[in-house]
Amino acid sequence: MEKYVIRGGNRLTGEIKVSGAKNAAVAILPATILAQGVFTIDNVPQISDIFVLIDILKTFGAKCEWIGDSTLRIDTTQVENRELPSSLSQRLRASYYFIGSLLGRFNYAKVATPGGCQFGAKRPIDMHIQGFEALGAKIPPADEVAKDDIVIAKADRLLGAHIYYEKVSVGATINCMLAAVRAKGVTYIENAAREPHVVDLANFLNKMGAKVKGAGTQTIEIEGCQDLHSVAEYSIIPDQIEAGTYMVAAAATRGDLTITNVTPEHLRSIIKSLRDCGAKVEVYEDSVRVYTQSELRPCTVCTQPHPGFPTDMQSQFAVLLCTCKGDSTIIENVWEDRFKYIRQLTRMQAQITQPVQSIAIIHGGSALKGAHVIADDLRAGAAMIIAGLCAEGETIVGEIQHVERGYENIVQKLRACNADISKQEFPDCAAAE
């Protein structure tokens, strides 16, 4: 079993190039089955979530081929509607986007319930179902199909509708867009998610001939259209969270990093929080430089849907706050349980208390100590790496498959910037506990 071995204490310096956005790519790949033809998509990260999506596309009859390090060619000419089995859908959360795209293309989807990181008792998809039903799909109640954990959605013809979501959901917004682009009539999604990847999917769909307006605002308007076609050239946006992770790592190690291939406007809330701590952030057209000049200070971070501070950055930021002398507060507003990583950081001597499930108080300033820890989920794993880079001594991070779902070449990228990190094989019995 592979683990990361990190010797802490080195300042990160140099330049890191950010890859394409995982959460945009995992929506755009399923969108390709909405039309027949050959797609060429660039800036696709080579991460395990994408490899699983490619396997899923192949089970539907698509041909997928890497024609460059980050360029993927997908031929959907022979795509057929088939059941998506749990052996594939359980391997990533975004497999649920095939419910929307199969429904949009074939008016029928049979998809086993998705896997992915768990941040609470369950990750519900009730809002996705609400959207599909508003468009006229029939979905048998869960208890009729629950024994196999399968979602079946079918319609004679999807019809445009007004959909109002009571809370903001990235997944429900995206899934509803995927289903609605080929519906008859106009769909309005109100209280839509405004994340950069929602906008990227809308841009991709429009390149396919769809008529999507308002992505990036609270109301998305989709005029249904049957004549979608493939896209000869599309480049996925840079990964906002990967960029943010390296920005925070730069500040946490008191380093000096320039992070390239970024869209600075997607990083505003992260930049603000870094500056609140006293880190210096210089913003250029498609890069940012993060460094420190003076002692950093504690601050309060409150996660919100975009354009607020992303929940996918809070565990990494928590590590930075461990290095800032004084009490900081993190308030998690998106997920019910996204503080599992505290247990791991505590092994590294972090001083963190959790007065209620949604709030963590970080008593920063005492040195982190190397320890055996695990990546509870993707972003928690990134946080463990940053903690290892800051800590005294050696840190061993297990369960790294979670990290490799979403960070392309993280070891190589960090090593090129002075980090002492490597991936090593351990016998199974040496599992970190």
Give catalytic residues, as residue numbers.
Answer: 117
Q: Any contact of residue 94 with ligand EPZ (CB under 6 A)?
A: yes
Query: Nearer Cβ to ligand EPZ, position 94 or 208?
Result: 94
* Closest approach of ligand EPZ to the CB of residue 7, in Å: 27
* Closest approach of ligand EPZ to the CB of residue 363, in Å: 26
**From 406, 411, 419, 421, residue interacting with ligand EPZ (rule: CB under 6 A):** 406
Cα–Cα distance between 251 and 280 in angstroms, integer?
8
Restricted to residues 161-190, the positions that interact with ligand EPZ (CB under 6 A) are 167, 169-172
Cα–Cα distance between 349 and 338 in angstroms, integer?
20
162-164 and 186-190: which strand pairing?
A: parallel
**From 35, 127, 257, 373, residue interacting with ligand EPZ (rule: CB under 6 A):** 127
How big is the CA angle at 430 (ends 428 and 433), to the nearest 5 degrees? 110
Restricted to residues 284-323, the positions that interact with ligand EPZ (CB under 6 A) are 311-312
H or E stretch covering 373? strand 372-374
Q: Which residue is nearest to ligand EPZ (CB)?
A: 171
Query: Nearer Cβ to ligand EPZ, position 115 or 255?
Result: 115
Cα–Cα distance between 317 and 322 in angstroms, integer?
9
* Closest approach of ligand EPZ to the CB of residue 172, in Å: 5
Cβ atoms 126, 166 nearer than 8 A: no
Q: Any contact of residue 113 with ligand EPZ (CB under 6 A)?
A: no
* DSSP letter for each residue of 143-202: HHHGGGTEEEEE-SS-B--EEE-SS--HHHHHHHHHHHTTSBSEEEEET----HHHHHHH
Stretch that binds ligand EPZ, among 125-133, 198-206, 363-371, 385-393 (CB under 6 A): 125-133
Query: Nearer Cβ to ligand EPZ, position 107 or 316?
Result: 316
Cα–Cα distance between 433 and 423 in angstroms, integer?
18
Restricted to residues 14-43, the positions that interact with ligand EPZ (CB under 6 A) are 23, 26
Where do contacts with ligand EPZ occur on this chain (CB under 6 A)?
23, 26, 93-94, 117, 123-128, 167, 169-172, 193, 311-312, 334-335, 378-379, 406
